[in-house]
Amino acid sequence: ALTSAFPVLHDYRVIIACLLVIFIMVLNLRGVTESASALAYPVYLFVVALVLLIVIGIWKVATGQVSPDVHPAIGTAVPGISLFLLLRAFSSGCSALTGVEA
């Protein structure tokens, strides 16, 4: 996700991943209490962002600020959609949910 947001870092994705794994390893080796307190902040940020997203969505629906959907005519071809693309999107969505349902 980091290299998607910053394409300049695409060539360094393996190095970035290794450094992040080493960082988490060092945090875990320092002890349970220190690693738990350090790793709790990203979880809190994720939960706050998720709640904020839901609240803003409900607010926009309640105030009528949602843009109307434009639907193509039924039976028109959708270029670029294939079984592989649909399965890829499904698998990406499933892996993105890992840890959220727990």
User: pLDDT-derived band of residue 100, with 50, 70 and 90 as boundaries?
Assistant: low
Give the residue, 76 or 43, on which the prediction is more confident.
Answer: 43
The separation between CA 71 and the C-alpha centre of its own chain, rounded to angstroms, equals: 27
Q: Measuring CA to CA, how many Å separate 51 from each of 13, 40, 47, 99?
A: 30, 17, 6, 16
pLDDT grade for 49, boundaries at 50, 70 and 90 = very high
**Whole-number pLDDT of residue 85:** 80
* pLDDT tens digits, 69-91: 877 777 777 676 777 787 887 77
Q: What is the pLDDT of residue 99?
A: 60
Kindly report the CA angle at 57 between 54 and 58, in degrees rounded to 5? Answer: 85
| 3, two tokens | 């290299």
Task: Determine the Cα–Cα distance for residues 28 and 32; give it in Å rounded to an integer.
Answer: 7
pLDDT of residue 83: 76
Q: How far is CA 37 from CA 23, 28, 33, 43, 99, in A?
A: 14, 11, 6, 10, 18
Where is pLDDT greater, at 56 or 89? 56
Number of residues that make up the chain: 102
The residue with greater pLDDT, 69 or 94, is 69
